[in-house]
Amino acid sequence: MFTFLARRLAATIPVLLIVAVLVFLMLRLTPGDPAVIIAGDAANPEQVAQIRAGLGLDRPIAVQFGIWFGKLLSGNLGESYYFKLTVVDLIAHRIEPTLALSVCTIVLSVLVSVPLGVLAAWRQGGWLDRALMGFSVLGFSVPVFVLGYILIYIFSLKLGWLPVQGYVRFADGFWPFLRHLILPSITLSVIYIALIARVTRAAVTETLAEDYVRTARAKGLPEARVVIHHALANAAVPIVTVIGIGIALLIGGVVVTETVYAIPGLGRLTVDAVLARDFPTIQGVILFFSFAYVLINLLVDLSYLFFDPRISY
């Protein structure tokens, strides 16, 4: 198992390295002078020259990457030109709302989608199954922000049950914190629920057809035990896999949801940085999100050992 752990970690490193190269090249291979792009439209020639010297743009591109990558390894993502802060501080400052929103969304999605998927597989072709499949196509089609506005319109503006927008930090009280997260989490979870429920349904449908399920029924186990302990337990691997893959979807959704609900998190930071053409921040946030995505999927791979003891790498 430890050799597996070491191998799996070692396989992650090239991916992270390639991500770093791609994020670096994204800016350098763009037509035009990166220093001018970074400095923005309002910069004077001195500032541009300063940035050019700071980035070492007169040196060969491999050397430039070396310098940039060296800084990256020592935890230096550069300095934001717009926010006048180091990018690391900026990310640390904005991470709480994004983390809270993501965790709420994942918990909500899993709690809703897995039981629904299991029930749909259990009574395949029934009304719940058809409703769920219809919902999942719809869930993939309704844009996150349209859904967000529909929910705001109904629950905040018409019914007045929940706050329209904004975010309250966890330290400022749990209930206000949670109240502000309810609508954003529901908004963000719809597409995630659609994805996980579909895969759960497919995976459980497959395991329900296995011989051991028939055996379990034949020996007279209660149906709930058959479905949960025999069918669902053996369908766990594809379900956790899709939860991991869906994180990419979640990150995309976070960017939009935080804009709709005016939540000052990393997603909103991304948009603000793009609008301000603040490239050190854009690079930093993309690197952060990508690394998080890769690491979460590493954890998902490791969880296979727990969910399926047959797997011994």
Partner 1 sequence: MPPTAVPAEAAVAVQIKGGLWRALRGNWAVMMGGSVLALLALIAVAAPWLGTVDPTLFDPASRDLLPGAIGEITDLDGATIAHKFLMGSDGFGRDIYSRVIYGTRVSLIVGAAVALVSLLFGVSCGLAAGYIRWLDGVLMRVMDGVMAIPGILIAIALVALWKASLTTVIIAIAIPEIPRVTRLVRSLVLSIREEPYVEAAVSLGTRTLRIMFGHILPNTMAPLIVQGTYICASAILIEAILSFLGVGLPTDVPTWGNIMAEGRVQFNDFPHNVFFPGVFLALTVLAINMLGDGLRDTLDPRMSKRI
Residue number, 30 or 215, with CB nearest to partner 1 = 30
Query: Shortest Cβ distance from residue 144 to partner 1 (Å)?
Result: 8
Q: Distance between CA 200 and CA 123 in Å, rounded?
A: 13
Closest distance of CB 30 from partner 1, Å: 5
What φ, ψ does residue 179 adopt, rounded to 5°? -60, -40
User: Residue 137: CB partners within 8 Å, gap ≥ 6?
Assistant: 194
Of 27 and 237, which CB lies nearer to partner 1 in the complex structure? 27
Gap between the Cα atoms of 118 and 12, Å rounded: 33
Judged by beta carbon, residue 178 or residue 258, the one nearer partner 1 is: 258
Q: Least distance (Å) from partner 1 to the CB of residue 233?
A: 20
How far is 305 from 2, CA to CA, in rounded Å? 12
Task: Considering the complex, state which of residue 86 and residue 270 has its C-beta at the smaller distance from partner 1.
Answer: 270
Nearer to partner 1, 8 or 225 (CB): 8
In eight-state DSSP terms, residue 171 is: G
Determine the Cα–Cα distance for residues 312 and 178; give it in Å rounded to an integer: 41
Q: Give me 6's structure tokens.
A: 């070491």
Under 8 Å between Cβ of 307 and 236: yes
Q: How far is the CB of 183 from partner 1 (least distance, A)?
A: 14
Nearer to partner 1, 61 or 138 (CB): 138
Minimum CB separation of residue 37 from partner 1 in Å reads 7
User: Cβ 249 to partner 1, closest distance in Å?
Assistant: 8
Write out the residues near partner 1 by the rule CB under 8 A: 14-16, 18-19, 21-23, 26-27, 30-31, 37, 137-138, 140-146, 149-150, 152-153, 157, 164, 198-199, 202, 248, 251-252, 255-256, 259-260, 270-271, 274-275, 277, 282, 285-286, 289-290, 293-294
What is the distance, to the nearest Å, from the Cα of residue 305 to the centroid of all Cα atoms in its chain?
Answer: 23
- How big is the CA angle at 243 (ends 251 and 162), to the nearest 5 degrees? 60
